[in-house]
Structure 1
Amino acid sequence: MHLLNPAGWWFAAIIPIIIIMYLLKPRYQEQLISSTYLWEQALRDIEASQPWQRLKRNLLLFLQLLAAAFLVLALTRPYFPVAGGVESHVIAVLDSSGSMRATDVSPTRFDEACRQVEKLINELGPRDEMTLIGMGTRTEVLAARSRNRGELRRALNQVQVGAGNADLEAVLSLVSSLTREEDNALLVIFSDGHTIPVKSKIQLACPVELRRIGRGDDNTAIMTLAVRGEGARTVTMARIKNYSSQPVETGLELLADENLVDVRELKLKAGAARDVFWEELPAGTEVVQARLTRPDSLNLDNQAWAVVEKSDESKVLLVSEGNIFMEKALALIPGVKVFKTTPDSFNVEMGGYQAYVFDGWLPKELPAQNMLVINPPPGNPLVKVGEEHGIIEQMTAVGEDPLLKYVELEGWQLARSRPINCPNWARPLLEHEKTPLLVAGEYANRRVAVLGFDLHDTNIPLQTGFPILINNLGAWLLPEPTDAAVLESSGDFIRLAPRTETKEIILTHPGGEEQRFEPPFPAVLPVAESGVYCIAWCMEEEQVVSRVAKNPGDNLESDIKPRSLPWSGMVASSGEGSRRATNREIWPWLLGLALLTLVGEWEVYRRGY
C-alpha cells in the first residue's frame, strides 16, 4: 500500500488527545460533613475519578479511537497499484458530434462519454498528466498536460455536444505533434466511431484506445428537404431513411409557415429510404418544415427546414462526402447559394439548382444543368480517366483561356492525380507533360468542367489562385446574379455579403434571439442551433429579408450504429481499455468505515454498555 498524501499523518495527533480526555476526569469541590459513614461509596467514586489514573477497558473509548484511525488513514489517501489504468501522459479525446446525442445509452452517449472521462481523471496517479481535447467540427484543446483534477473536471464540464461531424484527422494531426518526442503517452478516444474518415496516412508513436460509446442503431432521419417555387406553387421533396436494423412505421408531418398541411404514414424496411413529394402547398409559402412523429434514439434529425428561394436566385448543389475547400470557394462566388448533400442522399429529381458540383462521385443519370466534376471515378458516364499518377510538382496552362484569367499557377503541387482523356466536346485548360488535368466544354446542351484530382491530395486550396479559378468557373457555369445582398451558408456559419448601402444587419435565431451588427460587418456569423435564421438587411429606404435553414440531417451522424474509427492507422481498439498499471485509492471505503464506527459508538452509548 502507498500514500498519496503522507502529510495526513499529522492528523494522527487527535488519537492521543482522545486518550488524554479519558485520563483527565473532572475534580469535585471539597465540603465539610459530620460523618463519612454514609459517604464511603462516594469516596470510592472520587478516588476513581482522580486524573492520570490507569486506563481501564472501555468500549466507547475503543470505538472512538477506531473511528479516528479510519479518518486519519483516509486523509493520507492510501492506494494500491492495480491493472487497467493509464500511462504518464494521457490524451483524452471527447467526441462532441451530433451522433453523440443518441439516447440508446442513458441519458445520452455524450453524457456517458463524459462520465467515463471523469472516471479516467479520478484514476490519474500523482505523477500522471492529462490533456483533454474536444473533437467536433473544430478541434479544441480544453486542458493541456494538467495534473490538477479540479481543472480537468472544470474543462470537461465546459464541453457541449454539437450537431456537426467529428474531425478525427485534425485531432490525430494535433496528437502527432504533441507526442512526437514522448514515449510515455497514451491516446484514449471516447467516441461512437462516427467521424470524418481519415484520408492522410497518420501513424502515432503512442498506444491508442477507443472507448466505444453506444450500443443501438434505432434511428429514422430526414436526410433531405428540398423546395422550389414554380409560379404560385411550391413543390417539396423529402427523403426519409431508416438506419435501424428493424422495419419501422412513422408519421411524416409537413408544415408551411408553421401551419400543418399534411401527414403521411410511412413504412420503411431496415436500411431503406423513401422520397416523398408534395405539389399542392399554399401559395406564397416562405418556410417549409418536415418532422417525423416516431421518437427514436436520435431525435436531432427528426425534423428539417427548407426556405423557398426566389426563382431567379442562383443555387449550387455540392454533392460530396465532405470538402471544406470547395464549400469555402463556392461560398465566395457572389450571388450564389450553396447547398450540400452526400452521394447516398442525392436524387436526380432534386431540381431547382442552376449548377451541380460532384466531388469524387457521379450519378449514373446526369442532371440536365451545368456541372463541375472533381476527381471523377473510373467508369463514370462523362469522361475517361487514366491510371493514377504520382507526385506532380508543376502544371501549365494551355493557352490564355478566359477561365484562367488572373489564376497564378506557381507552387501548385499534386500528390496524386488521374489524367483525363480529353473528349471531343471539351478543351484542356491545365495539363502536365501534355496530360490534361482540367478540361471544360459543352456536353449535351450543358456546360461541364472536370478536375482530374482530389483537392485533399494537393496544396492547391492553400494557393491564392484557387478561389479565383473557382470564381471564374462559377461565373461561366452560372447566370449573373440579380441581387447584390447575398447570404452564403456553409457548415456551421453564415457568410454575409451586404450591399454597400447597408446600415445594419439583424440576425434572428430560430429561438427568437436577435443579434444586431453595424459596419464594419463581420464576414461570417457562427450558428449552432438547427432551424431557420432570418437576416434583415437594413438600408436607408428599404429592408431586405433573407432566410437560411440549418438542418441536422447528415448520413455520417444519422447512422448511429457504433463502429470502429475510420482510420487505417488504428492499431488498438478496445471497449474497456488496455490493462495498464494505475492507482486505486481506498479512502472512500475508509471514510465509510469511520462513519459506521461512529454510528456503532452512538448506539453503545445510547444503550449504556
Structure 2
Amino acid sequence: MTFDAAGALWGLLVLPLIVLLYTLRARRQDVPVSTLILWQRARRDLAAHRPARQFERNLLLLLQLLAVTLIVLALARPHLALPGAGTAPTVIVIDTSASMQATDEPPSRFAVAAARARDVAAAAGGEVMLIAAGPRPSVVVPFADPILARGALTRLRPTDGPGRLDQAITLALGQRPGGARPRVEVFTDRAGAAIPGVAYHTVGRATRNIGIVGVTVERDADAAVVVVQVQNAGDASERVPVVVALEGRRVQARTVTVAARSIASFSVPVSGAGVVRIELAVDDVLGVDNVAHAVVGTPPPRVIVAGVPDRVLIEALEAIPVRVSPAQRVTPEALAVADVVILNRTPPVDLPPGNYLLLGTAASNLPVGITGTVRVGEVLRWSTRHPVMRYVNLGDVTIGEALRLEPRGGEVLAEGATPLIWAYDGDGVRAVVTAFPLEQSDLPLRVGFPIFLSNALSWLGGTERLAQAGDTVTIPSGSLAEATVTGPDGVEQRLPASGGRVVLPAVERVGLYAVRIGDRELRVAVNPAAEESVIAPLSPGTVRSEAAPGDSERTRQAWRFFLVLAAVVVIAEWLLWLRTLPKTGPGGRAPRLLRPWRTHG
C-alpha cells in the first residue's frame, strides 16, 4: 500500500487522546438510602449482566478507535493492490522539449502530461522509473517507489531545446529490472512512429504558431548585418510585427508577411556593438520562440602570423579586420592570448591545442599525410555548406603546385587533383589547411580571398557566436585550464578545459551566456531550436503496452473504501451506544432520543 498524502498519518496520534478521555468518563456516586430490601434483586441482576455490560463499553471504545483510524487512512489517500495484482515495473518517459511549453492545453502541455503521468505512477503495481526526454535524455528517478516519481514529476520543467524522444524510448526499452520487461508509458506532443510495447499519451491541439527559426550575423569592417528567419507553422498567411533593438535601443520595426507553412527571411544592418534582440509581437500559444538574440561588434579576433612573411596576407587580414601580431615563433605565452595562429609555409610540427590556419603546410599530429607535390590547375569541387566556404566561389581560381594531401579524417572543403582545402576539429586542435602556398595561386587576387579568410578566422576562433538550444557549444581556451560561464538565469559555474576547449554540453535555456577565459570574455547567444516551432501534435495511433504475462496493469485508489468503512463503523458504534441507554427515564418515560415524535394536527 502506498499513500499520496502520507503526512495525514500523523492524525493517528489522536488515538491515545481518545483512550485518555474514555478513562475520564463519569463514575457512579454513592448515595445513602433508607433500606436495601428493594435493591437486592436489582443487585443480583446487575451482577449477572456485568460482564456483558463491560464488554459493550469496551466495544464502544474499540469502534471509536477503528473509525478514527479508517478516517485518517482515507485522508492519506492510499493506493491498494487488489488480490492477484502483479508488480510489473513501469518506465515513464516524459517529453521536456520546448514545444511542451505551448498553452493550448491550459496551463501548458507539459503540466497536463505531468498530471497524467502522476496518475500512471500512482496506479503502478511495482517500481517506477522516470526518464526526461530533453536535449540529453536522462534518468530523473531510477526504479523506486512510485511516490518518488510523482514528486519528481511535480518539480520537473520543460527545457527550451528539442526533445530526443527516440533516444529516451530506446533507453526505456533497454531496462530489465530483475530480468523483467517493464511497461513503457510515453507522454509527448509529437509521438512519431508506433513502437510495440510502448503506450503513448499525446497532448496538444493547436497547430498555429509563428517563431524565429534562424539568426545569423554577417559582418564587414563597417557594420554587421543580422539575418533573421521567421517560420509560420499554421495553415493561414500571417503578418508579423517585428522589433529589432541593439542594447535596448530600437534599430528597426517592420512587419513581415509569412505564407502558411513557410519561412520568410529579412536582414537588418546594425552599426555598433552589443546584444541585438529580435522580438515578434505576436499572440500565439508558444512564447519561447518569439525572441532571439545575436552578439555584434565584438572585438576582432587576435591573430598571430608566423612563418614566411607575406605582405598580401597581412593586408588582407588588416582589411577584415583582425588584430594581427607577426611572430618569429609561436610560444606558449602567445598561444594563451591568441584566438587564431596562422602558419605560412612553416616546417611541419606538432601543434599544441589551439586554432590554426595552415597555408602551404601541415602538422605532424594532424590526421593528414603529405606524399609530395602535384600540379593542380583548376579547382574541380568545393563545399558550399561548411562555414569556412560560405559565399566563396573558387570557379575561376588557378593553382600551380600544391602539396599532395592524404586526409585520414576531417572534411575536404575543396579539391582538384588533390584535396586543396581541408578542415579538422578534434583532440583540442581546430585547423584549416590549404595545400597550396598563396604565391602558387591567384586566389589572393580574387574577391573570394578576404571572404575565405574572414570565414576561416570566424570558424576557427571568432568571438561572435550563435547556437541553438540543445547544441553543444565548444569554445577555444588556449592553454588555460578553466572558464567561468554565467547563464541567462545569472547562475555562475566553472567549467574545466580539456584539449584546449571548454564545452557547454547541450545548453537547455535560450538567452545570453557570458564566458570568461582568463582576461577574455565572450558572449554566446543561444536561440530557440528551429524544429520546436512546429507544434502540431502527432499521434502514432492506438498502441497498447505489452505487459509481462500474469502482471496486473493497475492498482486501485482505496481512500473511498476506507471512508465508506469508517461510516459503517460510526453507525454501528451509534447503534451500540443506544443499547447502553436505560429503557425508561425518570418518571417512567423513555429518554428523549428514544421517544417517538409527536405531531400536532
Give the TM interval when normalised to the shorter protein: 0.5 to 0.7
Cα distance, 1:608–1:515 mapped onto 2, change above 3 Å = same
Shift of 1:116: 1.9
For 1:298, the equivalent position in structure 2 comes to 286
Distance in 2, matches of 1:593 and 1:368, equals 77
> Aligned match of 2:139 in 138, 141, 144?
141
Distance in 2, matches of 1:519 and 1:144, equals 31
Map 1:81-480 → 2, pairs under 5 A: 88-125=88-125, 128-146=126-144, 148-157=145-154, 159-178=156-175, 184-193=181-190, 207-279=197-269, 281=270, 283-308=271-296, 334=355, 356-357=384-385, 368-369=391-392, 402-404=404-406, 407=408, 427=416, 440=419, 467=426, 479=453
Distance in 2, matches of 1:401 and 1:271, equals 49
> Aligned match of 1:481 in 421, 436, 457?
457
User: Would you say 1:590 and 2:561 are equivalent positions?
Assistant: yes
> Aligned match of 2:502 in 516, 523, 534?
523
SS of the residue 2:147 aligns to:
helix
List per-residue Cα deviations over 1:185-236 (Å, max 9, x = no partner). Answer: 33222111267xx9xxxx97x6122211222223110112223334433323
Distance in 2, matches of 1:293 and 1:601, equals 67
Shift of 1:256: 0.9
2:207–2:534 Cα contact (<8 Å) kept: yes
SS of the residue 2:150 aligns to:
helix
- Equivalent position amino acid for 2:525 in 1: A
Distance in 1, matches of 2:27 and 2:49, equals 7
- Equivalent position amino acid for 1:334 in 2: N
List per-residue Cα deviations over 1:435-459 (Å, max 9, x = no partner). Answer: xxxxx56xxxxx799xxxxxxxxxx
User: Would you say 1:533 and 2:530 are equivalent positions?
Assistant: no
User: Would you say 1:509 and 2:530 are equivalent positions?
Assistant: no
Shift of 1:96: 1.3
Distance in 1, matches of 2:484 and 2:189, equals 38
1:234–1:285 Cα contact (<8 Å) kept: no
- Equivalent position amino acid for 2:536 in 1: K
For 1:453, the equivalent position in structure 2 comes to none
Shift of 1:155: 4.3
Shift of 1:110: 1.8
For 1:327, the equivalent position in structure 2 comes to none
1:130–1:145 Cα contact (<8 Å) kept: yes
Q: For structure 2, list consecutive stretches of 5 or more residues without a partner in the other structure.
A: 4-13, 302-316, 321-352, 358-381, 395-401, 436-448, 578-591, 595-601
Cα distance, 1:504–1:188 mapped onto 2, change above 3 Å = closer
For 1:326, the equivalent position in structure 2 comes to none
TM-score, normalised via structure 1 length: 0.58
Shift of 1:285: 3.3
SS of the residue 1:110 aligns to:
helix
Q: For structure 1, list consecutive stretches of 5 or more residues without a partner in the other structure.
A: 6-13, 316-331, 337-353, 360-365, 372-399, 410-424, 430-439, 442-446, 450-464, 566-571
Shift of 1:300: 0.8
Shift of 1:69: 9.1
Cα distance, 1:209–1:497 mapped onto 2, change above 3 Å = same
Distance in 1, matches of 2:180 and 2:114, equals 27
Cα distance, 1:230–1:367 mapped onto 2, change above 3 Å = closer
SS of the residue 2:508 aligns to:
coil
List per-residue Cα deviations over 1:250-299 (Å, max 9, x = no partner). Answer: 421111112223322344443233223333x4x31322111112232111
List per-residue Cα deviations over 1:49-74 (Å, max 9, x = no partner). Answer: 984455899xx999959946955996
Cα distance, 1:34–1:310 mapped onto 2, change above 3 Å = closer
Distance in 1, matches of 2:426 and 2:497, equals 25
Distance in 1, matches of 2:226 and 2:218, equals 7
- Equivalent position amino acid for 1:404 in 2: E
Aligned-pair identity (%): 23
The two structures, once aligned, show a CA RMSD in angstroms of 5.7
Distance in 2, matches of 1:24 and 1:496, equals 78
1:94–1:191 Cα contact (<8 Å) kept: yes
Cα distance, 1:508–1:68 mapped onto 2, change above 3 Å = closer
Cα distance, 1:105–1:240 mapped onto 2, change above 3 Å = same
User: Would you say 1:550 and 2:547 are equivalent positions?
Assistant: no
Shift of 1:589: 0.6
Distance in 2, matches of 1:239 and 1:49, equals 97
Distance in 2, matches of 1:223 and 1:214, equals 21
List per-residue Cα deviations over 1:560-585 (Å, max 9, x = no partner). Answer: 111146xxxxxx744x8789943442
Distance in 1, matches of 2:524 and 2:113, equals 33
SS of the residue 2:385 aligns to:
strand
Cα distance, 1:172–1:32 mapped onto 2, change above 3 Å = closer
- Equivalent position amino acid for 2:141 in 1: A
Shift of 1:160: 3.5
Distance in 1, matches of 2:354 and 2:163, equals 27
Distance in 1, matches of 2:553 and 2:64, equals 33
List per-residue Cα deviations over 1:504-552 (Å, max 9, x = no partner). Answer: 844343344444679888721344321122334444xxxx432221001
